[in-house]
């Protein structure tokens, strides 16, 4: 194993480079008997795919998933689900300029150091294209988790930050704007800002908030595999993520215990939810919510000083079609990774009692 | 497995409840031939143990580790290292008041729901006492990682936040004040603040910063097991942690790419280090640094409304000796978990090339 | 995980049903920098494929492997190797007769019980077709293991048993007869016997012997993951295998210690090798050798009484083209599984010492 | 991980050397709510312990297990069960003669090669003493598996082989003779033979048969983790085991399909059971039965030529108190490993369906 698998019971292994023949994966441990809506899976992929709006990369990749196994007469069979997304847009000659040079704040240099060489076409394995396979697996996990509702949305783009509490938002608005912000007014400001950034040939970071509702009590394991620890790992494993906080998060570290504690109602629910739906690493039935911080995309359309693989200084300028801001397309990835974590713990929770 | 193991190759499994006969663990995969300084291991435990200063819990637990296996003539043998810390202070009658009631923002309720009942003595498995076993394992990992320097320190206590960049700090000062703050002036303010909070019968959260120096290039795996994803999981698995960020972190999400990118020097080092020593999930040889946010301890010495296991309202007041602020004692735990992650990836990196 | 992955560090996950669109897999953890001879991989597949000789199934499956990732400019990149073998011969209407009935000594009944239903086309996931993916992965493992020599051959077919010690055999003869027996005279007898069995509409079992030469000292882990325990699991996981023995095997259980012990030469080699190249679960540098027993193929071309999924008695007769004896085609599978075990332990052995 | 853990969900990690302070382990994943009979666990240990009869080693080890965690008010809590067996008989000066020399067919040489040195006291980690920890874990697994009946017994000692089919045996007789043979007449012959062998200063191998009754349908996973593959690995991981066969085993490889197939009854049971209770790697509800071959103990009370760690020839004679035949004491180990495999698959089978 070299880190390309995720999950203990509901497990996905992904493969594929940005500009190879195909990316894809295998889901092992998906329970039998789930009636799969394949269109919904493709719809999730469409939410992630390039070219979907004016503020994302204009690369053309249809990103159509094909399933090879594990589904029979519309239902999962309990055997591994193999799938692939064929790469249709392999213009690898576009990438000659990065063959021997190291793009700043990309993984080119460390791959060369770690492996001795690298597949330099489009970032190879380090490309965020790998996350398309996660979206497929997550979309299946979501269908296993019917009843739970996982809603991610953009809550900040650069300095523009949504301040409204998630309970006051209408999640129906998320897919109605290209930013995937849950506040329509803020969405327009963010969109305008991203357009401006792109005009500058620059990029900008952002924050995605995710809310999970209708979670049963008891998901997550004590000690190392706390529910929020796995969610944190899942989110931090997404390209460009720099931080994760759940419930009261970093702000909670400034509070006093008397302010921070969540008093119980007599039915076991809590009056406040600074715990973020998780106590001692285990879901308590309240909403789980967390924030994920994304750095700005490293590929800027400006000349940058850098070095080549002989340690010589070179000047490099971003080519091709890149995202000025990654968060709108990262929303379905955050949801997919959350779904994978929850599906795994849902299965695991069946083994807690004799 | 129910989440009580950590690590793929350098692996620790812990056991033990707060008020059972002993806690401890097994380290499997520690390479042979490491000359162990057992005093250093005990010293790390002493940094975590109760009663070490006036601003931590005054419980008396000597926390002496005994080793059962895996060490022969002063060196690791390559076989599993079994160890135990016997609990000497099992006043379980102190805990009658929580037997049937649920402490707010503790794990009592979710344990009962998940397992059908719980060992209620002192929080049982959900007690932070479990982390003593991690400190033992981490202390051994540190000795395997000779050359690397892992330095954690308290950078915030409630609203008091250190603003100095870590490169301007003298890490030698950390162990010279009871807060384990790397800034002696701020340390005094923090100490005074914690004393005040304790007088109020309250608690407060804080932030620990960790810096890892002399890291070789190439640790970490692409895709799911990125170096920072494992560090994030490791930190989030520590009791009371609510957030993790590395490098530019949440602040980085507000930046533009042109500002955020780290330009290369001709030797492969970078001029800035907003990447936090990690690119694409793989160490690049620069310092790794990250922040870990801790919520305030949930046990306050004030009357709180809560419920019992029949859903009846009860009033509960914290008893016994608890930490007003957890971060001073959590510093060695953060270092231990960081060491475990790095030891694992150090071993794994030996398998990258043919 | 539901058992479709094999290996700790050199890991393969397979997917695919007999009559779905494709079978395939992902190899995660293959080290970077191995120059792959793709023709050799296809050649191994050809050794396993149907229709290769007159004494195996006459089904036509070209079994051409396509690689999707993890290989660049002829070398492994250290990233996952995704591959597929498209099924070209999906005559699923052939299998209507087993849709509702349970073939004796097949997995139809237990799949229905375990999963609630099954993909009945050609045995679905329980078909030995799955092993083609193992052969691909094993062929890559072999190229990583350059220097080691893994030679499997048929040593028994039904009552016909080769008695010659492997050291007196010429392994070059194995591929020169359709049975893959290492003794040309015995090979002819076996071939004639298999033809006769087929004429009867019957099937027969057999034994494969595997010899591994040039093994470095030190592969295998004490306790649960002994080298022969993993080899045993690997072999027993192949369809139709009923037994495994290594070194002196079952016969060794009848011996006295004074007869059985292998005396050392002064260079650490041993004069005899009843240990089968493994002591205490760890390779000692001598040849590893073991036997694998295969039961007769369950599909016979004779009418058999059986039941349908309503518990009604039915009569069933084997249709289509099946192997009268599975061992000739199982030889490359045994080698592939042996290679996977050794590749995994080769990587793991790099982590034994500090 | 270096192979000292067993099981995916019901997992045990063992530690300890023959002559260190203690051996023991941690069971992670044992479900909550099992009322444990601790006396039964100790009774299983007593079945394995030295000195229990005249035909086993006369070493004195009380082998008393102490539990440190995971049990509260008589029931498992769902948290890890830590336990230790303190070594009371650490006469390590007995072992000076093997400090620098390599006992034939022991693991001394390979440990030195693999790890650079070894804990030479009593075989260290390679001693079968490690299996006491497995017996503890297996005894707990048995209590989780209430309803299943796991019965192992000695079916051969050297050339003395029981020919009676297991269904004609009375398992109640097993514990009534020191050999643990299920046939009282044969038991006497075996006992006499072992006494004779011991008088010669020699040792002898044997076979253990294990029968598992009342197994639910559906345990085991297709592909790599077939039920019999895991049973095989479990058995082969026991010290001195050279072979494993289940159901028709090696004899089955000589049969024709028309003879070997098990015809169904209308209730899904089968008329014969050459499948050994497992089809396609999954239990079918019939009895599971298998044979495990043990080589003769390598330590003989006779002078043997061997080498020291400088490659010089030396003569070595077994000292101390050793077993002339290992199978009587290995019976509870076989049962324990079988229980661990079944407990794991019992938990895993809860995740097969949506």
Q: Which of D76, D79, D351 sits opposite A347 (nearest CB)?
A: D351
The pLDDT of A17-43, averaged and rounded, is: 97
Residues of chain C with confidence (pLDDT) below 50: none
Q: Closest to C233 (Cβ–Cβ): which among D221, D230, D266?
A: D230
Q: Are D352 and C2 in contact (CB < 8 Å)?
A: yes
Q: Give the residue from chain C lying closest to A70, CA to CA.
A: C16
Question: Which SS3 state, helix, strand or coil, does residue C171 take?
Answer: helix
Q: For residue range D288-316, what is the model confidence (pLDDT) as tens digits?
A: 999 999 999 999 999 999 999 999 999 98
Distance of CA D239 to the CA centre of its chain: 8
Q: Cβ of C1 and A11 within 8 Å?
A: yes
The C-alpha angle B103, B302, A258, rounded to 5 degrees, equals 75
Tell me if chain A has a CB within 8 Å of the CB of C25.
yes
Residue of A nearest to B303 (CA): A258
Backbone φ and ψ of D148, nearest 5°: -75, 150
- How many angstroms separate the CA atoms of D5 and D26, rounded? 9
Q: Report pLDDT for B321.
A: 78
Residues of chain C in contact with residue D322, where contact means CB-CB under 8 angstroms, are: none
Cβ count within 10 A of residue D128: 18
Count of beta carbons in the 10 Å neighbourhood of residue D319: 13
Where does residue A110 rank: exposed (0-12), middle (13-18), buried (19+ CB within 10 A)?
buried
- State the alpha helices, DSSP H only, in A200-326: 227-236, 249-252, 257-260
pLDDT at B82: 98
- A211 Cβ neighbours under 8 A, 6+ residues apart: A150, A151, A152, A166, A171, A287, A288, A289
Alpha helices in B212-296 (DSSP H): 227-236, 249-252, 257-260
| Cα C323 to Cα C330: distance, rounded to the nearest angstrom | 11
Residue range A228-248: average pLDDT?
98
Look at A20 and C124 and tell me if their CB atoms are within 8 Å.
Answer: no
Nearest to C203 by CA among D253, D248, D276: D253
Alpha helices in B56-179 (DSSP H): 96-99, 108-115, 131-144
Which sign does the torsion angle of CA C141, C146, C148, C152 carry? positive
- What's the sign of the alpha-carbon dihedral C54, C57, C59, C60? negative
- Rg over CA atoms, chain C: 21
Which C residues 212-241 touch D at CB under 8 Å? 217-218, 220-226, 228-230, 232-234, 236-237, 239
d(Cα A233, Cα B136) in Å, to the nearest integer?
24
Interchain CB distance below 8 Å, B119 and D78:
no
Interface C-D, measured as beta-carbon pairs within 8 A, has a size of: 366
D78, D352, D354: residue with CB nearest A352 = D78
A180 is written with which tokens? Answer: 């995937």
User: B154: which chain A residues are within 8 Å (Cβ-Cβ)?
Assistant: none
What is the nearest CA distance from C58 to chain D, expressed in angstroms? 19
- Give, in order, the Cα–Cα distances in Å from B264 to each of A79, C120, C197, D285: 47, 58, 72, 65
How large a percentage of chain B has pLDDT more than 70? 98
Instruction: Say yes or no for a CB contact (<8 Å) between C16 and A80.
Output: yes
Closest residue to D351, CB basis, from A34, A76, A350: A350
pLDDT at D59: 83
Tell me which chain C residues have a C-beta less than 8 angstroms from the C-beta of A33: 115-117
Using 50, 70 and 90 to split pLDDT, how confident is the model at B92? low
Considering only CB atoms, which chain D residues are within 8 Å of B79? 2, 4, 15, 17, 119, 124-125
User: How close, in Å, is residue C216 to chain D by CA atoms?
Assistant: 10
**What distance in Å separates residue D272's CA from the closest CA in chain B?**
37
Does A350 contact B at CB distance below 8 Å? no
Q: B59 pLDDT band (50/70/90 cuts)? A: confident
Nearest partner of B329 among B138, B147, B128, judged by Cα? B128
Can you point out the beta strands (E) in B162-240? 206-213
Cβ-nearest to D33 among B16, B33, B116: B116
- What mean pLDDT do residues D56-64 have? 88
Question: What pLDDT, on a 0 to 100 scale, did the predictor assign at position A71?
Answer: 98
Instruction: Note the pLDDT of residue A98.
Output: 82
Touching check for A88 and chain C: CB below 8 Å? no
Helix axes of B227-236 and B327-348: crossing angle, nearest 10 degrees: 150
pTM of the complete model: 0.98
| Record: contact D2-B28, CB cut-off 8 A | yes
Please answer yes or no on whether D295 and C252 come within 8 Å at the CB atom.
yes
pLDDT tens for A45-67 read 999 999 899 888 888 888 999 99
Is B5 part of the contact surface with chain D (CB cutoff 8 Å)? yes
Residue B318 is predicted with a pLDDT of 74
Contact between chains at B110 and A279 (C-beta distance less than 8 A): yes
Distance between CA atoms of residues B234 and B342, nearest Å:
11
Which domains, ranges and CATH numbers included, belong to chain B? 5-351 (3.60.150.10)
- At residue B72, the 3 state secondary structure works out as strand
Question: Hey, are the CB atoms on A261 and B311 less than 8 Å from each other?
Answer: no
Task: Please write the tens of the pLDDT for every residue from B177-202.
Answer: 999 999 999 999 999 999 999 999 99
Q: How far is CA A228 from the centre of its chain?
A: 15
- What would you measure as the largest C-alpha separation in chain A, in angstroms? 68
Q: Does A29 touch chain B (CB under 8 A)?
A: no
**CA dihedral sign of residues B51, B57, B59, B65:** negative
The pLDDT, as a whole number, for residue D122 is: 84
User: Does the beta-carbon distance from A351 to D34 stay under 8 Å?
Assistant: no
Which residue among D15, D32, D77 places its CB closest to the CB of B81? D15
CA distances from B32 to A144, A335, B226, B271, C342 (A): 45, 43, 27, 38, 21
Residue D97 at interface with chain C, using a CB cutoff of 8 Å = no
What is residue A198's three-state secondary structure?
A: helix
Mean pLDDT across A117-141: 94
What is the strand order of the sheet C101-102 is part of?
A: C101-102, C303-308, C313-317
D125: chain C residues, CB-CB within 8 Å = 222-223
Owner of token pair 């509409």: C201
**A24 touching C, CB under 8 A?**
yes
In tens, the pLDDT along D188-224 reads 999 999 999 999 999 999 999 999 999 999 999 999 9
Rounded to the nearest angstrom, the minimum Cα separation between B29 and chain C is: 8
Which chains does chain D touch, 3 or more C-beta pairs < 8 A?
Answer: A, B, C
- Predicted confidence (pLDDT) at residue B171 exceeds the cutoff of 60: yes
Q: Mean of the per-residue pLDDT values for chain A?
A: 95
pLDDT at site C318: 74
For residue D92, pLDDT over 60 is answered with: no
The pLDDT score that the predictor gives to residue A92 is: 56
Closest residue to B351, CB basis, from C9, C352, C354:
C9
Residues B243, B249, B251, B253: is their CA dihedral positive or negative? negative
CA distance A129 to chain C (A): 13
CA C322 to chain centre: 18
Specify the pLDDT at position C58.
86
Q: How far is B55 from chain D (nearest CA, A)?
A: 30
Touching subunits for chain A (3+ Cβ pairs under 8 A): B, C, D
pLDDT for position C64: 96
Mean pLDDT over A298-316 rounds to 93
pLDDT attached to residue C178: 97
**What is the per-residue pLDDT across A72-102, written as a single tens digit (0 to 9) for each?**
999 999 999 999 999 987 665 667 778 899 9
Choose the closest CB to B353 out of C29, C32, C352. C32
CA distance B137 to B97: 34
């Amino acid at each position: 194993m070299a880190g390309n698998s995720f999950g203990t019971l509901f497990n996905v292994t992904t493969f594929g480079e940005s500009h190879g023949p195909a990316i894809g994966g295998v889901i092992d441990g998906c329970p039998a008997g789930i009636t799969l809506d394949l269109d919904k899976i493709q719809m999730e992929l469409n939410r992630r795919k390039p070219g979907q709006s004016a503020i994302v990369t204009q690369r053309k990749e249809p990103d159509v998933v094909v399933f090879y196994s594990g589904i029979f007469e519309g239902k999962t069979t309990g055997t591994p689900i193999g799938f692939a997304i064929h790469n249709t847009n392999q213009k690898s000659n576009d990438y000659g300029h990065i063959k021997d040079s190291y793009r700043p704040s990309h993984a080119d240099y460390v791959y060369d150091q770690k492996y001795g060489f690298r597949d330099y076409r489009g970032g190879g394995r380090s490309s965020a294209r790998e996350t398309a396979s996660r979206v497929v697996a997550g979309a299946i996990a979501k269908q296993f988790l019917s009843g739970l509702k996982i809603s991610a949305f953009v809550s900040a783009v650069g300095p523009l930050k949504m301040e409204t509490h998630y309970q006051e938002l209408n999640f129906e608005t998320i897919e109605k704007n290209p930013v995937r912000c849950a506040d329509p007014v803020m969405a327009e400001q963010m969109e305008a800002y991203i357009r401006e950034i792109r005009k500058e040939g620059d990029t900008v970071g952002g924050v995605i908030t995710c809310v999970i509702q209708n979670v049963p009590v008891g998901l997550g394991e004590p000690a190392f595999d706390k529910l929020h620890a796995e969610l944190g790992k899942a989110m931090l494993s997404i390209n460009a993520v720099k931080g994760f906080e759940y419930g009261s998060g970093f702000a909670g570290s400034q509070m006093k215990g008397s302010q921070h504690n969540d008093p119980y109602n007599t039915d076991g629910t809590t009056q406040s939810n600074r715990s973020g739906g998780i106590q001692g690493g285990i879901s308590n039935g309240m909403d789980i919510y967390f924030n994920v911080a994304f750095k700005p995309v490293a590929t800027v359309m400006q000349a940058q000083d850098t070095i080549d693989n002989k340690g010589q200084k070179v000047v490099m300028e971003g080519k091709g079609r890149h995202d000025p801001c990654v968060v709108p397309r990262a929303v379905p990835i955050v949801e997919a990774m959350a779904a994978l974590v929850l599906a795994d713990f849902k299965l695991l929770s069946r083994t807690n009692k004799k």
